Structure 1
Amino acid sequence: MNDWRIREATQHDLPALERIRAAAFAPIFASFRELLGDSLYDIVQAREDEEQSTLLTSLLAPASPWQIHVAEGAERIVGFVALQLNRESRVGEIGLNAVDPDHAGQGIGTLMYEFALSRMKAAGMRAGTVATGGDASHAPARRAYEKAGFSKTIPSVWMCREL
């Protein structure tokens, strides 16, 4: 395993984060299109998928309540994780995150989630949460979250129909 390290993200990192986000989520968006069909996907999901890039940019904004950290090795960013600490509820949340598909399966996700959870614990959070999809394209993410100790789930189903 490489010597990966975690550091706070900067605006300078945005092109690398966007590249990783696009590559990591391409199969997920393709899965959504396959599950919904072209027509329904275009109506209910395409805009949200396209706006994920804007979301990533907003997470790095100075006024954002989110912290973004990157995993890097040999001067190359290979993943990122957003986390938020709610000091009122004392619940931390892992938000948008991704690992470069070229580096998947090398423990980077586990490293990032353990880092996020340790930040939550150090900040006095009582629980940590993360949300992910229940479809097959999210199975690797679910396995990574389970490996990091997330074990309690609330199943949900999002249903769509064309009118």
Structure 2
Amino acid sequence: MTPTIRTLHDDDLPAVLDLAVRAWAPVFASMRDVLAGSGVYEHFFPEWEPVQRRAVGQVCTATGHDVAVAVDGGRVAGFVAARADEAERLGEIVMLAVDPEFQRRGIGGALTRYAADGLAARGMAVAMVETGGDVGHAPARRTYERAGFTPMPVVRFFATLPITGNS
């Protein structure tokens, strides 16, 4: 069955939050492995599931974000959130997730194209998306490359710092 992509409805949010946790479990496991021993993962994601649910909920309800869901067989199979910077004519895909049960069926690519088409319709000249370089993000990188996005290597470094003083 071909999924239908439509604007997020309020009653879709619980399903989106649940699928986001399932979809990103391998991503967070990979980040934990990459950052092992640094203390950075523990700082940002001591309990990643509630943090991620909160982040997804904020993105899905934020003013200025266009959020769409893919519905397959009456179930929310994935979602995408995008925003547009009219001054820069730059659109950004902020989040994309597909429920593991529905992965490898082209839904991520369809959601990516839907978001990019929406950004183009709003007059954006360029679209961007950020993702990780670790193993857990490999499926996302493939999705974006297949959709015509060109990767720009960026390296982000983190270090935990000793807490000093009374601040």
On whether the aligned pair clears a TM of 0.5, the verdict is yes
Percent same amino acid at aligned positions? 35
Residue 68 of structure 1: how far off its partner (Å):
0.8
8 A contact 1:99–1:108 mirrored in 2: yes
Take 1:129 and 1:34, find their aligned partners in 2: how far apart are those partners?
27
Take 1:66 and 1:48, find their aligned partners in 2: how far apart are those partners?
26
Determine if the alignment matches structure 1 residue 58 to structure 2 residue 51.
no
Take 2:13 and 2:46, find their aligned partners in 1: how far apart are those partners?
21
Take 2:21 and 2:6, find their aligned partners in 1: how far apart are those partners?
21
Question: Using a 3 Å threshold, how does the CA distance of structure 1 residues 36 and 104 change in structure 2: closer, same or farther?
Answer: same
Letter in 1 for 2:116: L
The answer for the alignment partner of 2:156 in structure 1 is 157
Q: For structure 2, which runs of at least 5 residues remain unmatched after alignment?
A: 163-167
Letter in 2 for 1:113: T
8 A contact 1:80–1:98 mirrored in 2: yes
Aligned residues: 161
The answer for the alignment partner of 1:71 in structure 2 is 70
8 A contact 1:85–1:91 mirrored in 2: yes
The answer for the alignment partner of 2:165 in structure 1 is none
The answer for the alignment partner of 1:129 in structure 2 is 128
Q: For structure 1, which runs of at least 5 residues remain unmatched after alignment?
A: none
- TM-score normalised over the length of structure 1: 0.90
Take 1:39 and 1:13, find their aligned partners in 2: how far apart are those partners?
37
Letter in 1 for 2:14: P
- TM-score normalised over the length of structure 2: 0.88
Instruction: Give runs of ≥4 in structure 1 deviating > 6 Å.
Output: none
1:93-104 superposed matches below 5 A = 93-104=92-103
- Counterpart of 2:104 in 1: which secondary structure? coil
Take 2:106 and 2:79, find their aligned partners in 1: how far apart are those partners?
13
Letter in 1 for 2:145: E
8 A contact 1:10–1:60 mirrored in 2: no
Question: Using a 3 Å threshold, how does the CA distance of structure 1 residues 132 and 99 change in structure 2: closer, same or farther?
Answer: same
Could you say which structure has the larger radius of gyration?
A: 2
8 A contact 1:59–1:67 mirrored in 2: no
The answer for the alignment partner of 2:143 in structure 1 is 144
- Counterpart of 2:39 in 1: which secondary structure? helix
Take 1:98 and 1:82, find their aligned partners in 2: how far apart are those partners?
9
Take 2:30 and 2:151, find their aligned partners in 1: how far apart are those partners?
25
